[in-house]
């Protein structure tokens, strides 16, 4: 059976849907980019054509997110998994350089806020990389947990008094949106679930994983962050490129830092500074992923900027959560995240009540063209991801289906 794009409502968690006009443009560019006679993947990344694309993408990101001039915007290969390492490695190099003249450099604490699988993995990776260089020696740093919602199985967000930050942490790391359970820090800073930006100790770098909500709404307190990283394959482009926003004073020559000793070595591909010095063209970048992301940025800017995106995404989430709450009251649905303020706009997660209900729901949904609704393999259930390219209409359609579904 064959479907057209208009037959299908794609709720994938990532890779995720892309706007049809962007894909149509990209399909042309794939064969012949702007009458060069060569496709975008066949041009040098150092051509004036590609440079215009990547510099244009950077300019548009700056515009969309109001990124201050003292931040660099980088495009890196690898996804969040690479950034679990890169954030730690660059920040420790920065820390080491800060203590350059210090004869008493001691391995610092590194604070992780663990609210789901991805922040847990980041913490785990820090433990790996900071392992003692010899058995019995001291670790290179002390990754610790500043707050965790593991006791609630990552179905809540910590409250303000549940965070305990090290006054001298090398960084505080958090994940703004955890995709598996659909946990997202609320935009509303007065919420009890809000991320406690004000509690970050003075001078401690703040690092945020914004992979799954990037460009869906503004970034709160962007200027308080040292680093923000975001794989693009949720709201911005195809898999293969990660955007890194890093304040320029955190860019360090990791080779110089490594010479001081006491930090994990930094593979050159992980270093932020060399990427920044080369405007992301240190080596061959993921050209096609950057190209499509650049097209998406133009498309989104033409639709009105970040306020408009926030408005639309807020509405999509509202429609779906309202429907689910109604169904929960009727006993057919169980929400995974009970705290309303912690509910993600990007990933809406629930279970259909009753034996075999999830499978029946998914089958029926599929029959109506609602695709990729299966929950993450680690938790099962249902997950509708509502990234930028998912329309309000698709969400309304799904809501009607939920309304009418009985197991």
| HSE value, Cβ hemisphere, 13 Å, CA-based, for 382 | 28
Per the residue annotation, which of 111, 234, 316, 374 is the catalytic one?
A: 234
Q: Does 131 bind its own copies (CB under 8 A)?
A: yes
Per the residue annotation, which of 63, 150, 161, 209 is the catalytic one?
A: 209
Q: Which is nearer to its own copies, 165 or 401 (CB)?
A: 401
Q: Which string of b and e fits 104-118 if b means at least 16 CB within 10 Å?
A: ebebbbbbbbbbbbb
Parallel, antiparallel, or unpaired: how do β-strands 206-209 and 142-148 relate? unpaired
Per the residue annotation, which of 118, 273, 350, 374 is the catalytic one?
A: 118
CB of 383 to its own copies, least distance (A): 11
CB of 122 to its own copies, least distance (A): 11
Q: Which of 114, 346, 122, 347 is CA-nearest to residue 227?
A: 122
Out of 119, 212, 270, 344, the residue judged to bind its own copies by CB under 8 A: 270
Q: How many of the other CB atoms lie within 10 Å of CB of 232?
A: 27
Q: Does 44 bind its own copies (CB under 8 A)?
A: yes
Q: Give bridge partners of residue 385 from the DSSP assignment.
A: 347
Parallel, antiparallel, or unpaired: how do β-strands 242-247 and 227-231 relate? antiparallel
Q: What 3-state DSSP class applies to 55? A: helix
Q: Does 378 bind its own copies (CB under 8 A)?
A: no
| HSE value, Cβ hemisphere, 13 Å, CA-based, for 188 | 11
Q: Does 16 bind its own copies (CB under 8 A)?
A: yes
Contact 73, 61 (CB under 8 A): yes
CA 218 to chain centre: 13
Q: Token pair for residue 293?
A: 């992301």
CB of 297 to its own copies, least distance (A): 16
Contact 171, 111 (CB under 8 A): yes
Q: Token pair for residue 249?
A: 């004073």
Asked about 350 being catalytic, the answer comes back as: no
Q: Token pair for residue 60?
A: 């548009």
Q: Which is nearer to its own copies, 38 or 187 (CB)?
A: 38
Out of 109, 186, 196, 231, the residue judged to bind its own copies by CB under 8 A: 231
Q: Does 182 bind its own copies (CB under 8 A)?
A: no
Q: How many of the other CB atoms lie within 10 Å of CB of 393?
A: 10
Query: With contacts defined by CB under 8 A, how many residues of the chain interact with its own copies?
Result: 90
Binding characters for its own copies, 57-96, by CB under 8 A (x = yes) = --------------------xxxxxx-xxx--x-------
Instruction: Enumerate residues 356-375 that contact its own copies by CB under 8 A.
Output: 369, 371-372
Asked about 118 being catalytic, the answer comes back as: yes
CB of 318 to its own copies, least distance (A): 25
Parallel, antiparallel, or unpaired: how do β-strands 206-209 and 172-175 relate? parallel
Out of 65, 206, 289, 342, the residue judged to bind its own copies by CB under 8 A: 289
CB of 165 to its own copies, least distance (A): 25
Asked about 249 being catalytic, the answer comes back as: no
Q: Which is nearer to its own copies, 17 or 208 (CB)?
A: 17
Q: Does 143 bind its own copies (CB under 8 A)?
A: no
Q: Does 314 bind its own copies (CB under 8 A)?
A: no
CB of 129 to its own copies, least distance (A): 5
Out of 68, 201, 261, 354, the residue judged to bind its own copies by CB under 8 A: 261
Q: How many of the other CB atoms lie within 10 Å of CB of 310?
A: 15
Question: Annotated catalytic sites, by residue?
Answer: 118, 209, 234
């Amino acid at each position: 059976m064959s479907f057209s794009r208009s037959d299908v409502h794609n709720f994938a968690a990532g890779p995720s849907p892309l706007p049809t006009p962007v894909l149509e443009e990209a399909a042309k560019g794939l064969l012949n980019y702007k009458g060069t006679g060569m496709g975008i993947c066949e041009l040098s990344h150092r051509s004036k054509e590609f440079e215009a694309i990547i510099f244009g993408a950077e300019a548009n990101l700056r515009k969309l997110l109001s990124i201050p001039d003292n931040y660099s915007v980088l495009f890196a290969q690898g996804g969040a998994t690479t950034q679990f390492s890169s954030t730690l490695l660059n920040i420790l190099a920065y820390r080491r350089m800060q203590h350059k003249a210090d004869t008493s450099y001691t391995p610092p604490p590194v604070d992780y806020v663990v609210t789901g699988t991805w922040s847990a993995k980041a913490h785990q990776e820090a433990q790996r990389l900071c392992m003692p260089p010899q058995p019995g020696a001291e670790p290179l740093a002390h990754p610790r947990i500043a707050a965790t919602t593991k006791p609630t199985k990552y179905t809540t967000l910590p409250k303000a008094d549940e965070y305990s930050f090290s006054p001298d942490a090398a960084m505080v790391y958090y994940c703004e949106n955890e995709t598996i359970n659909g946990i997202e820090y609320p935009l509303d800073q007065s919420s009890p679930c809000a991320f406690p930006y004000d509690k970050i100790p003075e001078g401690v770098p703040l690092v945020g994983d914004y992979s799954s909500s990037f460009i869906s709404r503004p970034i709160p307190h962007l200027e308080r962050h040292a680093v923000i990283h975001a794989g693009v394959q949720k709201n911005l482009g195809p898999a293969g490129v990660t955007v890194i926003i890093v304040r320029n004073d955190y860019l360090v020559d990791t080779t110089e830092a490594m010479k001081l000793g006491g930090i994990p070595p930094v593979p050159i591909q992980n270093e932020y500074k060399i990427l920044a010095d080369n405007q992301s063209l240190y080596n061959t970048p993921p050209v096609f992923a950057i190209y499509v992301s650049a097209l998406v940025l133009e498309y989104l800017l033409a639709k009105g900027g970040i306020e408009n995106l926030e408005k639309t995404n807020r509405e999509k989430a509202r429609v779906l959560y309202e429907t689910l709450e109604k169904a929960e009251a009727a006993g057919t649905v169980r929400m995974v995240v009970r705290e309303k303020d912690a509910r993600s706009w990007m990933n809406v997660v629930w279970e259909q009540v009753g034996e075999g209900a999830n499978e029946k729901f998914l089958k029926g949904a599929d029959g109506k063209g609602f695709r990729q609704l299966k929950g993450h393999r680690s938790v099962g259930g249902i997950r509708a991801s509502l990234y930028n390219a998912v329309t309000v209409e698709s969400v309304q359609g799904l809501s009607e289906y939920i309304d009418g579904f009985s197991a």
